[in-house]
Chains A and B, each alone.
Chain A
Amino acid sequence: DTEVTQTPKHLVMGMTNKKSLKCEQHMGHRAMYWYKQKAKKPPELMFVYSYEKLSINESVPSRFSPECPNSSLLNLHLHALQPEDSALYLCASSQVGIEAFFGQGTRLTVV
């Protein structure tokens, strides 16, 4: 099983809403990542969790709040987003190593 599952696939939210993106993997990977990708751009790293601890936060605004409840789950809590935050949000996992496996992404639209 080399699958990273992200829900929901699509999300439309208003600027005053609170929503959460979810990510799950059952490969026993101990590193999990959130990336943001805008159209025609490469994925940009947002957060890295290693052994369920936040190890990297790439200067992401506080309206994005990550959470790692256990080694299989990763959430991204969203609050008071701006229209420019609309993007494809990608979750990935790796065995604290090399190849990162990506989920299908959540297409987020902020209206």
Chain B
Amino acid sequence: DQQVKQNSPSLSVQEGRISILNCDYTNSMFDYFLWYKKYPAEGPTFLISISSIKDKNEDGRFTVFLNKSAKHLSLHIVPSQPGDSAVYFCAASARSSGSARQLTFGSGTQLTVLP
């Protein structure tokens, strides 16, 4: 049972336009959400996160929106640049008694920004 879902395996966007990547989750215990960017054969790079008590977090060109009632979050990148082309993973985290938090990843969305 996938608790974090990214239903779009790929997305193509023109340079300068907005990229919107979507993510849905099912576990109500998740209280923190993160986006990672990954190039082939490299480790994921942390981009931006949001706590469940917020509905928006912005960092430069990246903004994450959280809709708790819909169990949905999205990452907006504006303006999109060719260097943004990568796989984007949504991840979620829940408090865990007695152990460190662990991340549950979605399946990823390949973003291609066309020049």
**Extra contacts besides A30-B100, A33-B100, A45-B103 (16): CB < 8 Å:** A6-B43, A31-B101, A42-B106, A49-B100, A55-B98, A55-B100, A92-B43, A94-B101, A96-B100, A98-B49, A98-B93, A99-B49, A100-B46, A100-B103, A101-B46, A102-B46
Q: Does A72 contact B (CB under 8 A)?
A: no
Cα–Cα, bound, A73→B101 (Å): 19
Binds B, one of A12-20, A77-85, A103-111: A103-111
Report the contact-size class of chain B (Cβ under 8 Å from the partner). Answer: 20 to 34
Q: Give residues of chain A (21-51) contacting chain B, Cβ–Cβ below 8 Å.
A: 30-31, 33, 40-43, 45, 48-50
Q: Does A11 contact B (CB under 8 A)?
A: no
Q: With CB as the reference atom, state the residue of chain B lying closest to A49.
A: B100
Cα–Cα, bound, A100→B101 (Å): 9
A103 touches B101 (CB 8 A): no
B43 touches A99 (CB 8 A): no
With known contacts A42-B89, A98-B34, A99-B49, A50–B43 Cβ distance under 8 A: no
Cα–Cα, bound, A103→B93 (Å): 19
B-side contacts of A74, CB under 8 Å: none
Interface residues of A (CB under 8 A from B): 4, 6, 30-31, 33, 40-43, 45, 48-50, 55-56, 88, 90, 92, 94, 96-105, 107
A-side contacts of B32, CB under 8 Å: 98
Give chain A's interface secondary structure class. strand
B-side contacts of A105, CB under 8 Å: 41-43
Q: Does B105 contact A (CB under 8 A)?
A: yes
Cα–Cα, bound, A6→B103 (Å): 20
A-side contacts of B99, CB under 8 Å: 48, 50, 55-56
Cα–Cα, bound, A49→B99 (Å): 8
- Would you give the 0/1 interface string for B28-66, flagging 1 where the beta carbon is closer than 8 Å to chain A? 000010101000011111100100000000000000000
A102 touches B44 (CB 8 A): yes
A103 touches B43 (CB 8 A): yes
A-side contacts of B105, CB under 8 Å: 42-43
